[in-house]
Structure 1
């Protein structure tokens, strides 16, 4: 069913929200406030067919896959609208929990800077499709270009398709996590066809011929011409296969700068959900640091890097599931500052312990404004002052936004 919709505002996931002629709410991706659009209706969802009256904030999207690929949903907006939308997303998340902090302007990132991407691949008859999912769909959009990733990752798309053709199972999908490191590309394949000697041989030949740093399949390292390395500050870290790293190096540096400035003059700090040590090593240049993480592989590389690093303050590590067993208020008593950088679910249990602790300063890094705001409410209710929140962009042209929130204990 076709319908004409007047778009009123954007939702938190960048869908245009409007109403039809009888007042029913309709969600229409790739639209802007004030626009009249013709859509193909499927219940409350509308697929954009034509913009009848365009917003002055609309611009031509630069990517040929825009509108099909679900990776970017805000390429059609002006730079000013884009920055304001991401900042307002953070403002609204905090408003919902009754907080009105000082929210700084968005710290932006440039195109072609993303160093880590997860591609999906599946079979469509005789073809193998490699790319990203369409919005709200299991359909994969086959990519020829990607304007957000580093040039070396975009240039690798033909090679990634060749790998996908070998590993995609008859049914289902394979995922290829690609990370650009200082020694070359690291590719970790999950969900692929069962490995056999022929598949291993073909993949090794492709990896060596393409100059990959490493290729792994289902956790098994097939080729490691050189350990994939990144810098945490100025400390080199050897990444485990498929390891999580912040998507954009400049965004990571900006997050770290905010935390380091906030912790000035403190003696001992804890880095919770520390991963491979993204922030731990930067902190340990200035403070005695205790790094806590549940992932054994991440802690292993952190410890290895610590042994070879010089000029650090004491850096200790602990393996611990902070969702099930947060660091208690009593244990936190030996730290002046705490940084936490949890997954999207946030750090609710840990924040309840922080709220009861004597920790003087807290820096929260988050990829989810909603859970960050929830956690901030817990800390504020527990006696902390929320000093500032800084939105940081590292998922260019998408509705996703990172943020760093800084807290100081009152009194």
Structure 2
């Protein structure tokens, strides 16, 4: 049954919060102060209509916005959106009892996302290709994605559909990750499982007809027609198939710029959760770097790029599970600075080791404000000062936010 409610405020995931006849409900794609008609399903509601719009509302630029679960904020005017996103970070810091200056939000969307993941499903025997609807496994079929980089935004759905046609025999759900690189599209397919030789040969032909740089299944390379290179500073890196990559080119450049600027005086830097080296390869222009990363393929890609790039200081790359085997105090004390860029779970085990070390500078890069605040609080309780917090918006049109925190302490004071 439909009912009319007033949106009181927004939650951290951009859903509006209202009081209905059955209690509090979360409503997507609304703004505070709006009067809306909804259909409730437990604590969540489907938006039927906006009856009294907010002056902060604007028309979404994507024709799929109402149906697609990818973007959540295209209906927000830019100024409101920026304030809301900064408030998410400020609220999270307050909850952790952290007081620190927060910089203005940096827009790092650039030309758009350089990687998208499209889904192929067969719910009614027919093939459906696109993104998921909100809170659903239903596919919203798309012809293009306007928040992706030029080229990728128009071509990705066609590539995913062509691959889906070739792999539709078992009717397994497929997730097709497409990355735009310097040499073309790098595609990794998940969900199919092991392939027979005849199937692999057909995919090699398909990769040629689509002019893909590389095609892989669950990271197993079917064919590499050209190395799918990513520029990281002066270095050209070929990351492992399907491995981690910052969402946008500009986002990586902004984050790396903040890291290298902060570490400019350091002679030895530990880059922890280093991936394929977006920070290490830039830091090595001025400092020696030890890079630690769980994924061995990423450390091999980093090492290869380092050896092929003249003029860099020494980089040592180590495949190491920093959750189970963090760098210990004697190892950490050899560095002038530590850079952390962990996954969403944060770096609690590693941070506890840093807290009892003599490292004077920590640059914490995080894609989750809550785990960032948790880890920063551990360091602050050990004597570090959170000097600066910078929100970086490379996940534009979504609730996700990248955070860079700069923490320093007086080494002489620690020794006493």
Deviations 1:113-164 (A, max 9, x none): 2111222211132322222222222222211121111122122221221111
In structure 2, do the counterparts of structure 1 residues 301 and 193 end up closer, same or farther at CA, with 3 Å as the change threshold? closer
Shift of residue 216 of structure 1? 1.1
Partner residue, 1:226: 226
Shift of residue 195 of structure 1? 1.9
C-alpha distance in 1, partners of 2:122/2:170?
7
Shift of residue 191 of structure 1? 0.8
Deviates more, 1:205-214 or 1:135-144: 135-144
Deviations 1:297-340 (A, max 9, x none): 11111111122121111211111100011111221000010001
Q: How does 1:100-179 map to 2 (within 5 A)?
A: 100-110=99-109, 112-156=111-155, 157-168=157-168, 170=170, 172-179=172-179
2:72 alignment partner, SS class = coil
C-alpha distance in 2, partners of 1:70/1:172?
22
C-alpha distance in 1, partners of 2:51/2:376?
42
1:151 alignment partner, SS class = coil
RMSD over equivalenced CA pairs, Å = 1.5
Partner residue, 1:71: 70
C-alpha distance in 2, partners of 1:382/1:112?
41
Q: Answer whether contact 1:5 1:36 (CA < 8 A) is retained.
A: yes
C-alpha distance in 1, partners of 2:17/2:366?
26
Partner residue, 1:216: 216
Q: Answer whether contact 1:168 1:174 (CA < 8 A) is retained.
A: no
Q: How does 1:24-103 map to 2 (within 5 A)?
A: 24-103=23-102
1:353 aligns to 2:349 (yes or no): no
Deviations 1:262-294 (A, max 9, x none): 112111110000010111011111111100011
Partner residue, 1:276: 276
| Alignment gaps of 5+ in structure 2 | none
Q: How does 1:279-298 map to 2 (within 5 A)?
A: 279-298=279-298
Deviations 1:80-101 (A, max 9, x none): 0111111111111111100121
1:236 aligns to 2:227 (yes or no): no
Q: Answer whether contact 1:123 1:170 (CA < 8 A) is retained.
A: no
1:124 alignment partner, SS class = coil
Q: Answer whether contact 2:177 2:187 (CA < 8 A) is retained.
A: yes
In structure 2, do the counterparts of structure 1 residues 145 and 155 end up closer, same or farther at CA, with 3 Å as the change threshold? closer
1:335 alignment partner, SS class = coil
| Alignment gaps of 5+ in structure 1 | none
Q: How does 1:378-389 map to 2 (within 5 A)?
A: 378-389=378-389
C-alpha distance in 2, partners of 1:28/1:395?
21
C-alpha distance in 2, partners of 1:206/1:148?
26
Q: Answer whether contact 1:122 1:168 (CA < 8 A) is retained.
A: no
After the TM superposition, list the runs of 4 or more consecutive aligned residues in structure 1 that deviate by more than 6 angstroms: none
Q: Answer whether contact 2:117 2:176 (CA < 8 A) is retained.
A: yes
C-alpha distance in 1, partners of 2:121/2:339?
39
Query: TM-score by structure 2 length?
Result: 0.95
Shift of residue 350 of structure 1? 0.8
Query: TM-score by structure 1 length?
Result: 0.96
Deviates more, 1:206-215 or 1:194-203: 194-203
C-alpha distance in 2, partners of 1:270/1:168?
46
1:253 alignment partner, SS class = helix
In structure 2, do the counterparts of structure 1 residues 110 and 290 end up closer, same or farther at CA, with 3 Å as the change threshold? closer
